Amino acid sequence: MKEPVEASKAVPEDIFKAFKPHSKSLTGLRNRVLGRLLFVALIPLLILALYLRYQFITTLESRSEIFLQAIAKGRQGAVDQMIAGKMAALKSLAKLVDPAAPASDKEMKGFLALLQGMDESILDLGLFDALGNHIRYAGPFQFLEGKNYKDENWFMSLTQSESPFFISDVYLGYRNDPHFMIAYRMESGDAPWFLRITISPAKFNQLVNDVQVIEGVSALIVNREAVCQCAPENICRTMSKTPVSPQMNAGSGATRIHVDNDDYLLAWSRLKYVNWTLIVRQNLAVANAPIRAASRVVLIILIFAILFIIISSVLATRSLMNRYARVEKDRTQLIDQLFQAGKLSTMGEMAAGVAHEINNPLAVILSELGVMEDILDPTLSEEFDREEFSKRIESAKQEIRRCRNITHKLLGLSRHSESVIDKHDVNEVVTETVGLIKKELSFENIQLLVDADPAIPVIRTDGEKIKQVALNMIRNAKDAIGKDGKITVSTHNEADYVSIIITDTGSGISERNLQKIFMPFFTTKEVGKGTGLGLSISYGIITSLGGKINVTSKVGEGTSFEIILPKKNVMTD
């Protein structure tokens, strides 16, 4: 003998979704489609935009560094030329001065005027003998004439050095006013003479900064200790320490600094004749102005691109969703029609069954009335039996009540198309269902056992719908048994749910068919005997009530359907 196949199947959650309209999720679907569309279109665009922006900014930044460095180089060259010009002028002048007969004051004034005509930053002109005595002077600080400079740093350096020139840092000196000087040693026999010019850093600065006027760019000169030699007033005061990094003393280069809440780009270049460094400074905001302008253009283009993508995505989604909604509407209508047809057809089957049930009490009534007629007929009975007559009336009335019960039940089943949620005792629902079908089962010699769990709480659900489902399942059980068998209907109180289990001793369902029993129109019955809609409708009903249906079956032994109803709406009273 073949082993019975045991099959157990929990109905997949989504089996019925395919048959039910889901209009609520339409908005969700639209948002998902739109979201994905936008994601796919916008992410690459944004990545590209960010990459391009990064590339663009780095390029522009290094370009502005190079640009500023070029300015620094050019400015350094110009300053070197200015200094070289002064040195050359000093050297030429030295030839005009005869050390044996020092020039008169008038001549000195003439020389100074000559020099100042060339270069207005020159303050004064002085002539010193080998002992450091300031023997001649032309300029605004007349009191300097006659002073001895032999202990001054510049004088000592110049007497000892090989180079005939000396250029000092900016200092205050006897005049107590910032200036720097270029001094020249004239060799004349054993005793050298010295000629010097002093230069106003402020005026020199004007020259430095007038060389080439570029917006936002200013130049300053520092010595090797980073002390400001000449600079525009707003950058640093002459002779004050400037916060520049030490590597600036080497060659040329560029860097960024943060001073006074502002970012600056610096480029520097060492001067040739003096140990100074020329620095050009540009406010980064100004330096980066073209970057920002270009970024703004890119941003505007980006915004337009994003707007275009969003608008076209929204339009595309809308047309897609409209089409989807149309298809969905058709589908929903079809499914509605299907359900309606299914409902009508099960109603039709049931109505036929119930109509047959009515024929029996009608036959009884007709017979009882006939007997009463006979009693009244003098040819058939000799005397009027009042007692029997009233007994017959009572019997007929009883049968009429039986008919009424049947029609009421029929109406009860057909009435509710919409769910009517109310308090229901599941045991009561089961008892009523069993009452509807008990007689039908007795004809086939099928025993119907009810095992009700007394602990079942009252739940909020649709009693009539559950009755319809249970009735459908008991009918299926009956069809599976055919003749001579047993159907058990039991109720169970579980932690979260209440269940009704309908078990039969019928032929069972093969595993292959078990996958399909909830599909609409699936039936194993002969053509015309079943619509294949009963279980799919039952499934729809139970899911709409928040429950589910499980089924286990063993071929040759029987099938068990479990209707699970959620308890969450349990009434406390």
Partner 1 sequence: MDEKIRLLFVDDEEKFLEATAKRLRVRNIDVQAFTRGADALEATKNQKFDVALLDLKMPGMDGEELLHKIKEMHPRMEVVILTGHGSIDSAKRLTRDGAYEYLQKPCELDELISVLSQAYARRIVSAKESKARRVQELLDKATGYSPIALLEELRKIDKES
CB of 552 to partner 1, least distance (A): 30
Pick the closer one to partner 1 by CB: 88 or 369: 369
User: At closest approach, how far in Å is the CB of 442 from partner 1?
Assistant: 5
Go through the chain and tell me how many residues it has: 573
> What three-state secondary structure class fits 432?
helix
Residue 197 CB burial class (10 angstroms; 0-12, 13-18, ≥19): buried
Of 442, 457, 494, 525, the one binding partner 1 (CB under 8 A) is 442
Q: Are 101 and 135 in contact (CB under 8 A)?
A: no
Q: Which single residue is written with the structure tokens 């320490």?
A: 241
Q: Please, which residue, 326 or 356, has the CB nearer to partner 1?
A: 356
Identify which of residues 116 and 360 has a Cβ nearer to partner 1 in the complex.
360
CB closer to partner 1 out of 306 and 364: 364
Q: How far is it, in rounded angstroms, from Cα 476 to Cα 508? A: 11
Angle at 24 between CA 23 and CA 28, to 5 degrees: 110
Closest CA to 279 of 209, 200, 210: 209
Per CB under 8 A, contacts with partner 1 among 183-202 are none
- Of 81, 104, 340, 445, which lies in the binding site for partner 1, with binding defined by CB under 8 A? 445
| CA–CA separation, 157 and 171 (whole Å) | 16
Question: Residues 396-425: x/- map of binding to partner 1 (CB under 8 A)?
Answer: ---x--------------------------
487, β-bridge pairs: 448, 504
The yes or no reply on residue 275 touching partner 1 (CB under 8 A) is no
**Spatial separation of the C-alpha atoms in residues 393 and 86, rounded to whole Å:** 149
- The 496-525 site mask, x for binding partner 1 (CB under 8 A), equals ------------------------------
* Region binding partner 1 by CB under 8 A among candidate stretches 232-240, 317-325, 437-445, 553-561: 437-445
The residue within the footprint of partner 1, chosen from 116, 360, 405, 490 (CB under 8 A), is: 360
Alpha-carbon gap, residue 147 to 483, rounded angstroms: 145
x/- string (CB under 8 A) for partner 1, residues 301-340? ----------------------------------------
Determine, following the binding rule CB under 8 A, whether residue 124 of this chain makes contact with partner 1: no
Secondary structure (H, E, C), 2-23: CCCCEEEEECCCCCCHHHCCCC
* Listed ranges 287-295, 350-358, 450-458, 551-559: which one lies at the site for partner 1 (CB under 8 A): 350-358
In a 3-state reduction of DSSP, which class is residue 524?
Answer: coil
Of 143 and 443, the one with the shorter C-beta distance to partner 1 is 443
* C-beta contacts of 156-160 below 8 A and 24+ residues apart: 158/183, 158/185, 158/194, 159/130, 159/185, 159/192
Decide whether 32 or 438 has the Cβ nearer to partner 1. Answer: 438
Q: Is 364 in the site for partner 1 (CB under 8 A)?
A: yes
State the Cα–Cα distance between residues 175 and 142, nearest whole angstrom. 10
- Single out the residue of 92, 104, 142, 381 in contact with partner 1 (rule: CB under 8 A): 381
In the complex with partner 1, which residue's Cβ is closer, 133 or 367?
367
Single residue of 29, 135, 202, 362 touching partner 1 by CB under 8 A: 362
Q: How many residues bind partner 1 (CB under 8 A)?
A: 23
CA geometry: angle 324, 326, 329, nearest 5 deg: 105
Nearest distance, CB of residue 467 and partner 1, angstroms: 23
Pair of tokens at residue 102? 């020092």
Provide, rounded to whole angstroms, the least separation between the CB of residue 470 and partner 1.
22
Among residues 260 and 387, whose Cβ is nearest to partner 1?
387
Residue 381 CB, shortest distance to partner 1, in Å, is 7
Our finding on whether 527 is near partner 1 (CB under 8 A) is: no
The whole-angstrom separation of Cα 474 and Cα 466 is 12
When the beta carbons of 392 and 424 are compared against partner 1, the nearer one is 392
Kindly write down the DSSP assignment for every residue of 44-99, as one continuous string.
Answer: HHHHHHHHHHHHHHHHHHHHHHHHHHHHHHHHHHHHHHHHHHHHHHHHHHHHHS-S
Least separation, in Å, of the C-beta of 357 and partner 1? Answer: 8
State how far the Cα of 529 lies from the Cα of 356, in Å rounded to an integer: 17
Least Å distance, CB 521 to partner 1, is: 23
- Give the β-pairing of 485-493 and 446-451: parallel
6-10 and 548-554 strand pairing: antiparallel
Task: State yes or no: residue 447 binds partner 1 (CB under 8 A).
Answer: no
Complex with partner 1: residue 142 or 442, whichever CB lies closer: 442
Stretch that binds partner 1, among 107-115, 129-137, 361-369, 548-556 (CB under 8 A): 361-369
d(CA 416, CA 565): 19
Amino acid of residue 103: A
Task: Considering only the stretches 41-49, 244-252, 357-365, 469-477, report the one whose residues sit in contact with partner 1 under the rule CB under 8 A.
Answer: 357-365
Nearest approach, Cβ of 452 to partner 1 (angstroms)?
A: 24
Is residue 374 involved in binding partner 1 (CB under 8 A)? yes
Would you say 27 or 359 has its CB closer to partner 1? 359
Residue with tokens 């370009």: 63
DSSP state of 395: H
3-state SS, residue 135: strand
Report if residue 443 touches partner 1, rule: CB under 8 A.
yes
Segment contacting partner 1 by CB under 8 A, of 353-361, 497-505, 529-537, 557-565:
353-361
Least Cβ distance, residue 34 to partner 1 (angstroms):
59
Structure tokens at 158: 């110049």
Our finding on whether 356 is near partner 1 (CB under 8 A) is yes
Q: Contact positions toward partner 1, by CB under 8 A?
A: 356-360, 362-368, 370-371, 374, 380-381, 392, 395, 399, 442-443, 445
